[in-house]
Structure 1
Amino acid sequence: MELTQLPERMFAAGEEPVGERVNTYHKPKRIESILDALEPEEVEFMRKTTFGKIISQAENPSFSGSFGQFVIVRILRVKKKYEIWFLFAGKPIRMSLHEFAHVTGLNCRKIPKKNIKRKKNPINEKLPGVNFWISQVRYR
């Protein structure tokens, strides 16, 4: 049986971050205390905003902090931009951005490009013809 050569890990075995960097026992108490302080109509308003996904994850956690830490510390270095590979039982497993979006319910689509509108110069609007006189003074 031929051994496959795996990419190097982001963290060496036994050198994974612990303690301060990742909170594996995260509980959504802070979100719950915020929701308790709000009126019911305010909570409904929050559910309709981008914070709605965070609220729903706090109420029904499907993606635990300990699983997140497990994936992060066993991540492999790969060149593909929209997927991660990690080791599970010594075997590489792929998780794409699409799958991450499906599991977490977060919007992971490309950020739409905004049309950049140039702002009008307020001096030109208030004092038409100022640029003409400034250009005359500069070149003399």
Structure 2
Amino acid sequence: MPRAGGEFLAALLLCIAPAAAQPVTPPAHYANVQLADPAKEASARALMETLRCLVCQGQSIADSDADMAADMRALVRQRIERGEKPASIRDWLVSRYGDYVTYDPPLSGLTWPLWFAPILLLAIGAWIARSSFRRKVR
């Protein structure tokens, strides 16, 4: 009988573990609050749409609900509010998180496949289409 009680306790702990994993800190002030100046908010929003969420991997920080994206949105808005230029904020984020944080990585030895793969795939597709059309004509 004590074994069944142990199994019950283990199952109960497994059920409540996800609740304990939720963050207890509130999101940063500017995470979901727009700036008072519409021009600054537009500048911040434009920058946020060019930055990739490091957790979601497919969304910008403007669209993501992840806590990391909320922190990055707050950081962008705080720096825009202080008068920093979007380019300097973007450079700081790239230096901190790497080129992955941007949807427009610079051309380098590591990123050249990202830039040239579409051109190469189009050329291969054109070559396949051309050879298949030639076969049908003959």
Query: TM-score, normalization: structure 2?
Result: 0.31
Higher Rg: 1
Q: Tell me which protein shows more strand as a share of its residues.
A: 1
